[in-house]
């Protein structure tokens, strides 16, 4: 017998059963209670009343209604949803106890909105039916809010970590309707804009960007009813994320100090961040000369040499970030212009070193008249080597090549100038260092026993910063290479995916910034046998029932992960726990990291204990700890429930039905 879900009987109902035989003998009366959810609420209305032709201009609505007819019981509460048909999910937070919803910003979009209301009975069993809803359309058309003001964009990238991000900030509109939230639109061509996010704050961080593209942004204000400010191309901001500084380091002018000599000047200053050190100087405010070093520091010192005796100089300091970290002009980062005057006489100036390699360098200097220069140099102040250089008449610029030098060596150098009159001036001592040839040292090879696959770690050290690489091969594998794009002295590589019990040949490579290459000796390393079993994690057990009634049976789905490809098998037995597993699934021989096994034909409400087992390619087996699971009770149909009730009351009824 089936009873329709008739809302005329909403609430608690009683089913009466009386059995009469052919002789008109009747049994005693039996009853069964059942429940039906309330029907539709009545007379749903909104304040203010609106139509499509006459919408409200304010997002402030109130809703009222009457309770359903033919109630057999009390209403517990009313559930409602806006612009979505009601369900348990979208009405969880939308509940009222009386037949009204107070004034509030209930519209979520411009134009037509729809409210749905369902009644929930205050009784057991079926007390709410989400298909029994009443609905009402209401309309709104609010004024577009003004766009946000003062939109700015800054680069928030971290170039070192290759993380490119832009931050957009703005101020709330100073006039017009209040913005409930802000919509962020983005474009890479300044033509087609797409929404990438929204926020209730006045700032948005857009991450995961490319350092190769320029991004354009428009920020729109949005009110509570979904009205957006007018999109205005004039309010577009754009930037390319670079992770670079947009302003040079700041030089404290009060920190600039100078100590002068006859031909030298030591200039010091301080900046707010580490940067290079250069000084532009000259005998006029036009300056014209520059000297410094690229080494980054906050406390700077530049020593000028080769200055003219008794001469007034103008100079200014300059500090810049490394070229790959600046997004500003190289013609910036200056202090104000200062003055200095050298003391008595030398005529040797502008001693500098350039084109330094592993075996040569150029020493340059300037004299103010015809003279012979004697350049003495060596690895100590004994100066065991000497070159003589002559210049023509007048002011002379000297450039002398020093060759056949040793790599990675510091040389001491001094210059003695002799003019036509035999007057001599000796420069102070100078030093420069030749570059070192790269060398590979301290190469070690170590098996990674805890790795999921067969791996080795190769470590080596170079005497200078180089790019590192490792070449490896075996009898069965052609030569392969792993390499790093970072210049450093300590190099570490992990080579994975190797075969067990195999001889491999490894060789370390290093290449400096000038293309000089060094190689280690070849090393042979035998990989060990794989004796490490897989590691099992993330065991998840889910139970379910398949079929209805007598055909129902319980099953469980067991999933887990291993840190290396392995097989799949579940061992199980009855009972809460134990170390005996008298049943097992067939082992799935597919090698995988993600495992899923279905165990069927289980008994409802009967406890089982189980463990999962996996075997890797090296036949190393691992099993999990013991797990307990109780499959759920089989679900019954309404008809089965009624039959069970009658069977319990009239033992013969089931026989009659059969």
Q: Which DSSP state fits 311?
A: -
Whether 652 has a pLDDT exceeding 70, the answer reads no
Q: For residue 366, what is the domain's CATH number? A: 2.60.40.10
Q: How far apart are CA 115 and CA 133, in angstroms?
A: 10
Establish if 658 belongs to a structural domain: no
Q: What's the pLDDT score for residue 653?
A: 41
Of 196-205, 319-328, 554-563, the poorest mean pLDDT is in 319-328
Whether 639 has a pLDDT exceeding 60, the answer reads no
Establish if 230 belongs to a structural domain: yes
* Digit-coded pLDDT (tens) for 529-583: 777 888 999 999 999 887 665 666 889 999 999 988 999 999 999 998 888 999 9
* Digit-coded pLDDT (tens) for 344-397: 564 788 899 999 988 999 999 988 767 788 999 999 999 999 998 865 555 578
Indicate if 445 and 485 belong to the same structural domain: yes
Establish if 16 belongs to a structural domain: no
Q: What's the pLDDT score for residue 391?
A: 57
* Digit-coded pLDDT (tens) for 103-158: 999 999 999 999 999 999 988 766 899 999 999 999 999 999 999 999 999 998 88
Indicate if 53 and 128 belong to the same structural domain: yes
Establish if 374 belongs to a structural domain: yes
Q: Indicate the pLDDT class of residue 210, thresholds 50, 70 and 90.
A: very high
Q: Output phi, psi for 644, to 5 deg.
A: -60, -40
Whether 18 has a pLDDT exceeding 60, the answer reads yes
- Cβ pair 156, 146 in contact under 8 A: no
Establish if 286 belongs to a structural domain: yes
Indicate if 153 and 233 belong to the same structural domain: yes
Q: Indicate the pLDDT class of residue 419, thresholds 50, 70 and 90.
A: low
First to last CA, the chain: 15
Q: What's the pLDDT score for residue 641?
A: 41
Average pLDDT over residues 415-444: 85
Best-predicted range by mean pLDDT (64-78, 181-195, 231-245, 550-564): 181-195
Find, among 569, 634, 624, the residue nearest to 599 by Cα. Answer: 569
Q: Which domain holds residue 579?
A: 536-629
Whether 627 has a pLDDT exceeding 50, the answer reads yes
* Digit-coded pLDDT (tens) for 588-620: 999 999 999 999 989 888 999 999 999 988 888
* pLDDT, the chain, mean: 88
Indicate if 275 and 333 belong to the same structural domain: yes
* Digit-coded pLDDT (tens) for 467-483: 999 999 998 889 999 99
Establish if 649 belongs to a structural domain: no
Indicate if 116 and 56 belong to the same structural domain: yes
* DSSP-assigned states of every residue in 626-640: -EEE-PPPPP--HHH
Per-residue CA distances from 586 to 392, 580, 625, 651 (Å): 97, 17, 19, 45
Could you say which of 308, 341, 374 is where a domain stops?
A: 341
Q: What's the pLDDT score for residue 1?
A: 58
Establish if 1 belongs to a structural domain: no
- Whether pTM > 0.95 for this model: the answer is no
């Amino acid at each position: 017998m089936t009873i329709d879900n008739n809302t005329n009987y909403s609430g608690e109902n009683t089913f009466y059963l009386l059995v009469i035989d052919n002789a008109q003998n009747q049994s005693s009366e039996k009853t069964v209670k059942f429940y039906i959810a309330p029907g539709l609420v009545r007379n749903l209305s909104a304040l203010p009343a609106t139509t499509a032709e006459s919408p409200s201009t304010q997002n402030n609505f109130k809703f009222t209604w009457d309770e359903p007819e033919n109630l057999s019981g009390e209403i517990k509460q009313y559930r409602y949803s806006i612009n979505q048909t009601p369900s348990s999910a979208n009405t969880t937070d939308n509940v009222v106890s009386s037949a009204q919803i107070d004034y509030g910003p209930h519209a979520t979009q411009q134009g037509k909105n729809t409210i749905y209301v369902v009644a929930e009975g205050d009784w057991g069993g079926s007390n709410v039916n989400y298909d029994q809803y009443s609905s009402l359309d209401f309309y709104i058309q609010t004024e577009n809010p003004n766009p946000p003001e003062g939109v700015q964009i800054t680069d928030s990238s971290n170039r070192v970590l290759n993380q490119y991000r832009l931050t957009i900030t703005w101020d709330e509109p100073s006039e017009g309707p209040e913005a409930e939230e802000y919509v962020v639109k983005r474009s890479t061509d300044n033509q087609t804009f797409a929404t990438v996010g929204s926020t209730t704050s006045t700032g948005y961080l857009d991450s995961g960007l490319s350092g190769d593209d320029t991004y354009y942004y428009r920020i729109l204000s949005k009110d509570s009813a979904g009205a957006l400010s007018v999109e205005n191309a004039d309010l577009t901001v754009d930037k390319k994320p670079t992770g670079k500084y947009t302003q040079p380091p700041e030089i404290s002018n009060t920190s600039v100090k100078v100590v002068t000599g006859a031909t030298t000047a030591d200039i010091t200053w301080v900046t707010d961040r580490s940067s290079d050190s250069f000084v532009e100087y000259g005998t006029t405010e036009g300056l014209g000369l520059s000297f410094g070093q690229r080494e980054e520091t906050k406390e700077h010192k530049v020593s000028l040499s080769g200055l003219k005796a008794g001469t007034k100089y103008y100079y200014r300091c300059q500090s810049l970030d490394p070229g790959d970290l600046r997004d500003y002009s190289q013609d910036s980062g200056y202090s104000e212009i200062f003055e200095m005057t050298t003391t008595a006489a030398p005529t040797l100036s502008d001693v500098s070193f350039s084109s330094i390699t592993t075996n040569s360098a150029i020493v340059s200097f300037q004299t103010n008249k015809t003279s012979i220069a004697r350049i003495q140099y060596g690895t100590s102040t004994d100066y065991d080597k000497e070159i003589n250089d002559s210049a023509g008449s007048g002011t002379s610029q000297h450039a002398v090549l020093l060759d056949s030098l040793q790599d990675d060596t510091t040389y001491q150098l001094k210059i003695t100038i002799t003019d036509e009159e035999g007057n001599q001036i000796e420069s102070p001592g100078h030093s420069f260092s030749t570059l070192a040839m790269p060398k590979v040292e301290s190469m070690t090879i170590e098996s990674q026993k805890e790795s999921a696959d067969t791996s080795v770690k190769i470590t080596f050290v170079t005497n200078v910063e180089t790019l590192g690489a490792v070449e490896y091969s075996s009898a069965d594998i052609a030569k392969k290479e792993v390499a790093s794009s970072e210049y450093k002295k300590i190099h570490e590589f992990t080579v994975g995916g190797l075969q067990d019990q195999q001889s491999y040949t490894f060789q370390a490579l290093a290449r400096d910034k000038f293309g000089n290459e060094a190689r280690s000796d070849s090393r042979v390393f035998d990989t060990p046998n794989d004796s490490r079993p897989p590691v099992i994690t993330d065991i998840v057990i889910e139970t379910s029932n398949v079929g209805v009634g007598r055909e129902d049976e319980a099953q469980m789905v067991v999933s887990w992960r291993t840190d290396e490809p392995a097989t799949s098998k579940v061992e199980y037995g009855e009972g809460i726990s134990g170390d005996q597993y008298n049943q097992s699934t067939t082992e799935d021989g597919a090698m995988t990291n993600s495992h899923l096994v279905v165990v069927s034909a289980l008994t409802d409400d009967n406890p089982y204990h189980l463990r999962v087992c996996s075997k890797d390619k090296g036949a190393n087996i691992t099993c999990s700890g013991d797990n307990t699971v109780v499959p759920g009770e089989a679900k019954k149909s309404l008809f089965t429930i009624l039959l069970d009730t009658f069977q319990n009351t009239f033992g013969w009824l089931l026989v009659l039905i059969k």
